[in-house]
C-alpha cells in the first residue's frame, strides 16, 4: 500500500519552549514524556491523548481544500495499547468514533485505517492511547493512499539582514530535519537571500545563497521568487522569517496540503504565536480592509475550546504575513510593491487574489509587535496604509484622514514625539506620489533621516528604583474625563499643575492616556527584557508637531483624489516582473 504523508506526529521537545499541552495531554503519572528523546514511555494504565494544537487533525480544512479518499494512522513504538479515535466540535458534545487494541513492535510501523473517515465533515479529529503494560510511543503520522493532485517542488525563501545569530541556526535546523530527510530530498530546497552579504559559502553549505543589495523584505523576497521562477523546476514558494522559528513539521504539513490542494489559487498562511507565551496566538491569518486586523488574536493553544474556535472560519484571511506564507508560483501575477518592509505582504496577497487557508499545527513564534514599535515602524505603517487604501480599496478621504491622524496623535499624546514626527514624515513622502518609492527603493536616505531623531525612543536597561516610578490606574469619573479632554490630556494645563513623578507604562503601541494624565514623565518598559526609556511632557514639541502635521494633512486632503489616481495608474508597473528585473539588472 502506497502511503502519501499528510502530517507527522510532533512530540514535545526543548527547542522552542512550547508547553507540553500543545503536543500531548498526559492523563496520569503512568505516562511520561521524554523531551530529549521525543518519545513517551508508559507503565500499565498510562494514558495520553492528542487533541492538541500540533497533533489533532482539522477535518473541515482538509475536506474543503483537498480530496482524501481514505485516512490511516501509522504508529511506531512498542507494547500493547487501547487506541481510540475521538472528535471535538464547536457546539457538540465530545464523541468517541472508534476503539481497537493494537500492538506495536520496535522497528515496525503499524497502520490503522480510519474506516469512519468518509462520514466526517468537520471538527477536531484526534486519537488517544491507553497502555496495557510496559510500552512506548516513538512516532507516527497520518497518511492517505489518495494520489496528490500536484507534483510539488517547494522553494523556501528566507530574506536575511544582519541577523546571523538567528539565520544560521535556522539553516542548520532546516538542513538537518528537512533537506536531509530522504522523503523530501529534491522536493524542498532552501534559498537564503542575503541582503547584508555577510553569510559565507561554508555557513550556507547545502542551501542556495543569493548575496543581494539591501532592498528590504520587498526586494529580498522578490529576488528569491524570481530565482525560483528562473530555475524552472520549482512549482511553489514559501516565504519565511530569517529565524525560521517554527517546528519543521509546519513546513512538511504546508507541503502536504500544497500537494493535495484542489482549490484554485490556493495559498497557505502560518499562524504567529507569542515567543514569550508560546501558546498564545498573535494571529492566525489576517485581513486588511483599510486597516490591518489579525484573526484569532489572544487565543490559548493549550485549550481544546480555543483550538476549535481558532479553526472556525468567521473571517477569511485576504493576505498572509511573510513570516510563513506558501503559494503556487504560477498564480503570481502581481509582485511586491517596493515598500522595503511593512505592507508588501498585504498588497501581494490581496493583488493576487489567493484563496488562503490556515491550519492548526502550522505556525511560528515571534517577538511582540509592541516591543518593536517606534519611529521607523510608525513611519512604515503610515505610508503603507496610505498606499493600500489608494490602490485596493475605495476608501473615502475622511476615513483616510482619520486613520492617518490616529497614527500621528497616539504617539503625540504618549510623549513619543519622534514617532509622531515619523508619522508626519511618512505622510509627506507618500504625498510625493509613486516616483518617491522608485527614487528611495533602498530606503538608505530615509533610514538615516529617521535614525537622526529616533534616539529618544531607543530601548535600554532601566532601573525603576532609581527613577522612583509611580503606578497610576485612576478611576475615571465623568468630570475627570471631561477635564482631560478639554485640556488635551494636560497639554493645555500650566506646568505647575503637572506631577513631578515618573509614571509606569507597559511598552506597547501607545500609552493609556488616563494613566499618564498630568505626569511630566513616563517610563515605557518592556518588562520581560527589563528595557525601556523615559518620555517627557514637552508642550513646545507637542504643539510644533501638531501644527506641522495639520498643515501636511491639509495639503494631502486637497490632493487626495489626484494622488489616488497616480498610485492606481502606477501600481501595475511598480508590481510587475519587468519592474523588478530592471531593479536587479545590474546585479
Q: Is 78 among the domain residues? A: yes
pLDDT in tens, 61-81: 999 999 999 999 999 999 999
How far apart CA 57 and CA 124 sit, in angstroms, is 6
What pLDDT does 367 receive? 86
How far apart CA 49 and CA 27 sit, in angstroms, is 8
Looking at the 3D structure of the chain, how many domains does it have? 3
Give the CATH number, domain containing residue 165: 3.90.550.60
**For a pLDDT cut of 90, what percent of the chain falls above it?**
88
How far apart CA 560 and CA 550 sit, in angstroms, is 15
Q: Is 570 among the domain residues? A: no
Is the per-residue pLDDT at 587 higher than 70?
no
How far apart CA 203 and CA 187 sit, in angstroms, is 22
Q: Is 575 among the domain residues? A: no
Is the per-residue pLDDT at 474 higher than 80?
no
- Are 240 and 377 within one domain? no
- Are 133 and 182 within one domain? no
Order across the sheet with 188-194: list the strands: 208-211, 188-194, 154-160, 236-240, 324-328, 266-269, 355-357
pLDDT in tens, 496-509: 999 998 999 999 99
Domain boundary among 304, 335, 367: 367
Average pLDDT for 486-505:
95
What domain range is 70 assigned to?
Answer: 4-144
| Mean pLDDT of all residues belonging to the chain | 94
Is the per-residue pLDDT at 377 higher than 90?
yes
Quick one: DSSP state of residue 342?
S
Q: Is 577 among the domain residues? A: no
Beta-carbon contacts of 318 under 8 Å, excluding residues fewer than 6 positions away, are 287, 288, 289, 349, 350, 356
- Are 356 and 377 within one domain? no
Give the CATH number, domain containing residue 85: 2.60.120
Q: Is 295 among the domain residues? A: yes
Average pLDDT for 109-122:
94
- Are 63 and 127 within one domain? yes
Q: Is 581 among the domain residues? A: no
- Are 359 and 394 within one domain? no
pLDDT in tens, 252-304: 999 999 999 999 999 999 999 999 999 999 999 999 988 889 999 999 999 99
Listed residue (221, 321, 313) closest to 271, CA to CA: 321
Listed residue (521, 519, 522, 514) closest to 483, CA to CA: 514
How far apart CA 245 and CA 416 sit, in angstroms, is 31
**For a pLDDT cut of 70, what percent of the chain falls above it?**
99
What pLDDT does 535 receive? 97
- Are 353 and 436 within one domain? no
Average pLDDT for 133-146:
96
Q: How confident is residue 327, by pLDDT bands cut at 50, 70 and 90? A: very high
- Are 44 and 106 within one domain? yes
Average pLDDT for 466-494:
91
Q: Is 579 among the domain residues? A: no
- Are 140 and 234 within one domain? no
Q: Are 537 and 519 in contact (CB under 8 A)?
A: yes
Domain boundary among 343, 367, 391: 367
Domain boundary among 308, 343, 367: 367
pLDDT in tens, 530-585: 999 999 999 999 999 999 999 999 999 999 999 999 999 999 999 999 999 999 98
Residue 123 half-sphere exposure toward CB, CA atoms < 13 A: 20
Q: How confident is residue 335, by pLDDT bands cut at 50, 70 and 90? A: very high
Quick one: DSSP state of residue 148?
P
- Are 297 and 395 within one domain? no
Q: Is 271 among the domain residues? A: yes
How far apart CA 521 and CA 506 sit, in angstroms, is 14
Is the pLDDT higher at 320 or at 243?
A: 320
How far apart CA 149 and CA 154 sit, in angstroms, is 15
What pLDDT does 17 receive? 87
Average pLDDT for 316-329:
95
- Are 522 and 425 within one domain? yes
- Are 26 and 120 within one domain? yes
- Are 336 and 442 within one domain? no
Amino acid at each position: 500500500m502506497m502511503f502519501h504523508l499528510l502530517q507527522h506526529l510532533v512530540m514535545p521537545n526543548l527547542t522552542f519552549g512550547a508547553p507540553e499541552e500543545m503536543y500531548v495531554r498526559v492523563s496520569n503519572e503512568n505516562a511520561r514524556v521524554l523531551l530529549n528523546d521525543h518519545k513517551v514511555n508508559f507503565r500499565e494504565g498510562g494514558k495520553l491523548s492528542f487533541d492538541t494544537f500540533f497533533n489533532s487533525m482539522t477535518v473541515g480544512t482538509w475536506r474543503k481544500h483537498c480530496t482524501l479518499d481514505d485516512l490511516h494512522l501509522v504508529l511506531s513504538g512498542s507494547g500493547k495499547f487501547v487506541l481510540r479515535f475521538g472528535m471535538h466540535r464547536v457546539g457538540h458534545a465530545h464523541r468517541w468514533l472508534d476503539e481497537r487494541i493494537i500492538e506495536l513492535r520496535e522497528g515496525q510501523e503499524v497502520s490503522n485505517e480510519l474506516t469512519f473517515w468518509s462520514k466526517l465533515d468537520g471538527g477536531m479529529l484526534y486519537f488517544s492511547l491507553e497502555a496495557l503494560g510496559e510500552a512506548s510511543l516513538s512516532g507516527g503520522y497520518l497518511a492517505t493512499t489518495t494520489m496528490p493532485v500536484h507534483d510539488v517542488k517547494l522553494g523556501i525563501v528566507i530574506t536575511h539582514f544582519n541577523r546571523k545569530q538567528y539565520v544560521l541556526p535556522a539553516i542548520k535546523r532546516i538542513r538537518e530535519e528537512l533537506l536531509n530527510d530522504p522523503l523530501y530530498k529534491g522536493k524542498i530546497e532552501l534559498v537564503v537571500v542575503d541582503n547584508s552579504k555577510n553569510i559565507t559559502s561554508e555557513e550556507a553549505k547545502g542551501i542556495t545563497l543569493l548575496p543581494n543589495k539591501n532592498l528590504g523584505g520587498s526586494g529580498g523576497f522578490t529576488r528569491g521568487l524570481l530565482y525560483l521562477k528562473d530555475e524552472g523546476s520549482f512549482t511553489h514558494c514559501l516565504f519565511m522569517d530569517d529565524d525560521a522559528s517554527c517546528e519543521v513539521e509546519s513546513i512538511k504539513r504546508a507541503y502536504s496540503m500544497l500537494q493535495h490542494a484542489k482549490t484554485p489559487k490556493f495559498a497557505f498562511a502560518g499562524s504567529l504565536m507569542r515567543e514569550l507565551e508560546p501558546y498564545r496566538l498573535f494571529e492566525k491569518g489576517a485581513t486588511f480592509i483599510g486597516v490591518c486586523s489579525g484573526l484569532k488574536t489572544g487565543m490559548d493553544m493549550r485549550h481544546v475550546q480555543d483550538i476549535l474556535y481558532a479553526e472556525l472560519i468567521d473571517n477569511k484571511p485576504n493576505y498572509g504575513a511573510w513570516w510563513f506564507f506558501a503559494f503556487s508560483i504560477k498564480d503570481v501575477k502581481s509582485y511586491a510593491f517596493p515598500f522595503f518592509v511593512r505592507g508588501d505582504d498585504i498588497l501581494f496577497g490581496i493583488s493576487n487574489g489567493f484563496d488562503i487557508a490556515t491550519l492548526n499545527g502550522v505556525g511560528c513564534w515571534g517577538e511582540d509587535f509592541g516591543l518593536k514599535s517606534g519611529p521607523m515602524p510608525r513611519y512604515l505603517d503610515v505610508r503603507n496604509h496610505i498606499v493600500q487604501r489608494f490602490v485596493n480599496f475605495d476608501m473615502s478621504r475622511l476615513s483616510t484622514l482619520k486613520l492617518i491622524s490616529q497614527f500621528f496623535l497616539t504617539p503625540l499624546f504618549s510623549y513619543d514625539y519622534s514617532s509622531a514626527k515619523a508619522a508626519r514624515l511618512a505622510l509627506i513622502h507618500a504625498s510625493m506620489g509613486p516616483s518617491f518609492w522608485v527614487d528611495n527603493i533602498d530606503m538608505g536616505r530615509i533610514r538615516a533621516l529617521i535614525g537622526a531623531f529616533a534616539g529618544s525612543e531607543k530601548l535600554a536597561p532601566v532601573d525603576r528604583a532609581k527613577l522612583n516610578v509611580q503606578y497610576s490606574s485612576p478611576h475615571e469619573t465623568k468630570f475627570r474625563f471631561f477635564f482631560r479632554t478639554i485640556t488635551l490630556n494636560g497639554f493645555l494645563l500650566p506646568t505647575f499643575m503637572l506631577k513631578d513623578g515618573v509614571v509606569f507604562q507597559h511598552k506597547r503601541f501607545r500609552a493609556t492616556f488616563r494613566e499618564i494624565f498630568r505626569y511630566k514623565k513616563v517610563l515605557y518598559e518592556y518588562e520581560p527584557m527589563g528595557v525601556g526609556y523615559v518620555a517627557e511632557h514637552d508642550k513646545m514639541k507637542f504643539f510644533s508637531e501638531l501644527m506641522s502635521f495639520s498643515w501636511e494633512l491639509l495639503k494631502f486632503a486637497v490632493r487626495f483624489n489626484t494622488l489616488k489616481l497616480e498610485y492606481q495608474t502606477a501600481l501595475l508597473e511598480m508590481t510587475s516582473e519587468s519592474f523588478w528585473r530592471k531593479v536587479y539588472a545590474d546585479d
